[in-house]
């Protein structure tokens, strides 16, 4: 297991830079560095890149705890907060790209889109659910909320399902990639339910209630 110093000074900075690569690739393409380009529809390219990486980081964040248990890597949990905040950042940038660059802050049209186009409604709902998780990601908020913190952060499963649904309805034709994400999320959710089931059964048993065993 890496030491606390190695995690703080080596692994976390390296992960921070690695997670920033999708953003840096868009910056490079926007300025045409090395012949890179955003293509014929730069707004769509930016929006899609942010959205796809937001979903990927959501799924990666969701997978941290199972990977920790499966491969006996307890230190992985120390990376979860950064991954979750990057997920929020990319999802937020996906939304802001649509709001500002695509819609031009045309509020009447924006509100109509959110209400009438289901995939936008679902994506917006996922973002709203993600906000309290980002706000309560600090150690101070964890201590303040106590046991409620874990209950709140289980919203990540709902958020991932909404994000996959949003992506599925958006692509329309080739749905293979969103279905892959859906499969991964369902496997992780099934693992979570299976892990929690024995504890719930033990609490509900007569012996547990009577204090036996």
* Between residues 95 and 147, the one the model is more confident about: 95
User: Is 211 among the domain residues?
Assistant: no
- Per the listing, tokens 């990977």 go with 67
Question: Taking 90 as the threshold, does the pLDDT of residue 206 lie above it?
Answer: no
Average pLDDT of the chain is: 89
Query: What pLDDT, in 10s, does the model give residues 18-69?
Result: 999 999 999 999 999 888 899 889 999 999 999 999 999 999 999 999 999 9
Residue 38 lies in a domain: yes
**Does 13 reside within a domain?**
yes
Is 19 inside a domain boundary? yes
Number of domains observed in the structure of the chain: 1
Q: Write the CA distances from 190 to 59, 80, 146, 195, 197, integer angstroms.
A: 14, 20, 25, 9, 10
According to the 3-state scheme, what is the secondary structure of the chain? CCCHHHHHHHHHHHHHHHHHHHHHHHHHHHCCHHHCCCCCCHHHHHHHHHHHHHHHHHHHHHHHHHHHHHHCCHHHHHHHHHHHHHHHHHHHHHHHHHHHHHCCCCHHHHHHHHHHCHHHHHHHHHHHHHHHHHHCCCHHHHHHHCHHHHHHHCHHHHHHHHHHHHHHHHHCCCCHHHHHHHHHHHHHHHHHHHHHHHHHHHHHCHHHHHCCC
pLDDT, tens digit, for every residue of 80-97? 999 999 999 999 999 999
Q: Is residue 210 part of a domain?
A: no
Q: Is residue 17, in this structure, part of any structural domain at all?
A: yes
Round to whole Å and give the CA distance between 129 and 133. Answer: 7
First to last CA, the chain: 35
204 located within any domain: no
Q: Does the pLDDT of residue 198 top 90, yes or no?
A: no
User: How many residues make up the chain in this entry?
Assistant: 213
Quick: pLDDT tens for 174-185: 889 999 999 999
Give residue 158's domain range: 4-195
Using pLDDT thresholds of 50, 70 and 90, give the confidence band for residue 209: very low
Q: Model-level pTM greater than 0.85?
A: yes
C-alpha–C-alpha distance, residues 159 and 165, integer Å: 10
Q: 134 near 84, Cβ under 8 Å?
A: yes
* Residue 127, in any domain of the structure: yes
């Amino acid at each position: 297991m890496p030491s606390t110093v190695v995690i703080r000074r080596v692994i976390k900075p390296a992960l921070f830079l690695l997670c920033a690569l999708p953003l840096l690739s868009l910056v490079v393409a926007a300025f045409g560095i090395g012949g890179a380009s955003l293509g014929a529809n730069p707004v769509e390219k930016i929006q899609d890149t942010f959205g796809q990486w937001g979903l990927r980081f959501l799924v990666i964040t969701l997978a941290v705890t199972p990977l920790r248990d499966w491969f006996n890597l307890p230190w992985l949990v120390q990376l979860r907060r950064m991954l979750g905040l990057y997920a929020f950042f990319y999802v937020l940038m996906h939304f802001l790209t649509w709001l500002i660059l695509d819609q031009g802050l045309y509020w009447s049209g924006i509100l109509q889109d959110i209400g009438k186009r289901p995939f936008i409604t679902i994506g917006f709902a996922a973002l709203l659910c993600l906000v309290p998780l980002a706000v309560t990601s600090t150690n101070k908020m964890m201590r303040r909320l106590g046991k409620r913190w874990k209950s709140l952060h289980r919203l990540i499963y709902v958020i991932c399902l909404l994000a996959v649904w949003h992506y599925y309805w958006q692509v329309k034709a080739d749905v293979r990639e969103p279905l892959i994400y859906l499969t991964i999320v369902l496997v992780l959710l099934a693992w979570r339910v299976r892990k929690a089931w024995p504890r719930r059964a033990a609490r509900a048993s007569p012996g547990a209630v009577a204090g036996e065993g």
